[in-house]
Amino acid sequence: MATIELNGLIKRYGQTTVVHGIDLSIQDGEFVVLVGPSGCGKSTTLRMIAGLEEISGGEIRIGGRVVNDFQPKDRNIAMVFQNYAIYPHMTVADNIAFGLYRSKLSKSQKRQRVEQVAEMLGLSQLLERRPSALSGGQRQRVAIGRAMVRDPAAFLFDEPLSNLDAQLRTQMRIEIKRLHHRLGTTSVFVTHDQVEAMTMADRIVVMRDGRILQVGTPLELYEKPIDVFTARFIGSPTMNLLPARLRDGGADLAVGGSVQVPSASATTSDILVGARPQDLVPTAAGSQGLTVSGTVAVVETLGSETLVYIESAGQTVIGSAPGRQIPRIGDHLTLHAPLERLYYFDKVTEKALAAQ
C-alpha cells in the first residue's frame, strides 16, 4: 500500500499539451476516482501513473519514491483495463497466475495464492476455463484477480466497467468497493460516469481539458461545486441553471419572478441560479427560494420519483415529483426549491459565487 503524489504533471504530444501540470495527493488506502468527459486527460494521467506513458514534465511519487523513470513493472502497481486484456490463449488460473510472473514464490505457493484470489472473486469453479468460455462479468473478475494476486502498492482501474451491461455494472461496482474495503489498497479509478464516481469514491477528482477543476468527497462536489461544469457534471439529472440579473439583495430571473441572493461578488450583474431537480418540487410557492411555473412538457416515471420537465419562458426546467404523483402533460405546474438549496454562478466566469 502506498500514497501517490502527482506534482505539476504534464503530458505533451508534440505541440499539443493534454495534461497541464496537475497536482494531486492520494492518501494511503484511499479510493480516488478521476472523472470527466472524454478527452479530459484522465486516462492519460492514469497511464502516466502506471508508467505506460512517458511524462513530459513534473513528478510522480508512489510510496514516497519518485518513479518518473521507472518501468511499469518496477512501480509495483496493478492495472485493470477497459477491455479486460486477459490472455485468450491461457486458462483463468494461468491468467491470474500471470500477475505473479515476477514473484519468487514457489509453484505451490503461487497456486495457493491463485486459489485464494479465485475464491474471493467467485472464480473457483472456472479456473480451468479459457476466457472465450466466460461471460463479460467473469472476464472482468479474472482481470481484477490478476491485479489482486500480487498484492500491489496500488490498483489502477481504467474504465473497467464501461463494457458491462447496466445490471452487471452495478454489481461489479459493489464488488470492487467491497474488495477495496477488505484489502485497503490505494486505488485510482478512471470513469466518465458520474454515478460510478459518486458511488465508489472516497474522493472525486473532476477533470476537464487536462486540468483538475475540483477535488472533494462526493458530497462536497454535490453540495459545493466550484463552477458550472462540475455542477452540471455531478448529479443526475443535471442541475437546472437559470439566467438571472443581479439587483439589490436579489436577482430577477429570466423565466420570471425573482430570487434572493446572499451577498456575493460577481464580475457582472449576470448570474446563473442553479437548482437540482431533486430539490425543485411541486409545492405551494414559499416566500423564499426559487419558484418556477410552466407547462408540463415531458414526464419520466421512475417509480421512486417522477421527473417533470416544464417549459417556462422558452427554457426547460427539470423538477421532481413524488413517485405516485404523476402530473399530466400540458398541465400548468409550479415548482419550488428552498433558498438554502440554491446555487449561484457568475455567468461570465462560470465560477460559483462565494455564498455566505
Partner 1 sequence: MPRIRPGRIVAWTLLFIGGVIMVTPLLFMLSTSLKDASQVYDLRVIPEAPTLDNYIEILSDGRFTRWFVNSMIVAVVVTLSNVFFDSLVGYTLAKFRFRGRYFVFIAILSTLMIPTEMLVLPWYLMASQFGWLDSYWGIMFPGMMTAFGTFLMKQFFEGVPDDFLEAARIDGLNEFTIWWKIAMPLVTPALSALAIFTFLGNWTAFFWPLIVTTSADLYTLPVGLSSFAVEQSIQWEKIMTGASIATLPTLIIFLFLQRYIVRGVMLAGLKG
Which residues lie near partner 1 (CB under 8 A)?
Answer: 50-52, 71-73, 77-79, 81-89, 98-99, 101-102, 130-132, 136, 139, 146, 150, 163
**Least Å from the CB of residue 24 to partner 1:** 21
Q: How far is the CB of 77 from partner 1 (least distance, A)?
A: 7
Rounded CA-CA distance 66/337 in Å is 49
CA-closest candidate to residue 234, choices 271, 175, 192, 171: 192
- The C-alpha atoms of residue 249 and residue 261 are separated, in whole angstroms, by 6
Least distance from C-beta 174 to partner 1, angstroms? 21
CB of 65 to partner 1, least distance (A): 17
> Nearer to partner 1 by C-beta: 73 or 351?
73
CA atoms within 13 A on the CB side of 160: 32
CB of 153 to partner 1, least distance (A): 12
Which of 23, 128 has the CB closer to partner 1?
A: 128
Q: How far is the CB of 278 from partner 1 (least distance, A)?
A: 34
The CA radius of gyration of the chain, in Å to the nearest whole number, is 24
In this structure, the number of other CB atoms found within 10 A of the CB of residue 70 comes to: 15
Minimum distance from residue 207 beta carbon to partner 1 (Å):
21
Alpha carbon distance 62, 247 (integer Å): 51
- Taking the CA of residue 196 as centre, how many other CA atoms within 13 Å lie in the half-sphere pointing to its CB? 29
Angle, CA of 199, 205 and 207, to the nearest 5°: 120
Nearer to partner 1, 102 or 182 (CB): 102
Closer Cβ to partner 1, 71 or 106, answer by number? 71
Please say which residue, 70 or 258, places its beta carbon nearer to partner 1: 70
Task: Give the residue with the Cβ less far from partner 1, 160 or 216.
Answer: 160
For partner 1, the closer of residues 86 and 244 by Cβ is: 86
DSSP string, 66-88: E-TT--GGGTTEEEE-TT----T
Under the phi-then-psi rule, with left for phi > 0, alpha for psi from -120 to 50, and beta for the rest, what region is 44? alpha
Min CB(102)–partner 1 separation in Å:
4
Helix (H, G, I), strand (E, B) or coil at 36: coil
The C-alpha atoms of residue 25 and residue 261 are separated, in whole angstroms, by: 35
The residues pairing with 240 across neighbouring beta strands, listed in sequence order, are: 275
Cβ pair 314, 292 in contact under 8 A: no
The number of beta carbons lying within 10 Å of the beta carbon of residue 125 is: 9
Please, which residue, 41 or 131, has the CB nearer to partner 1? 131
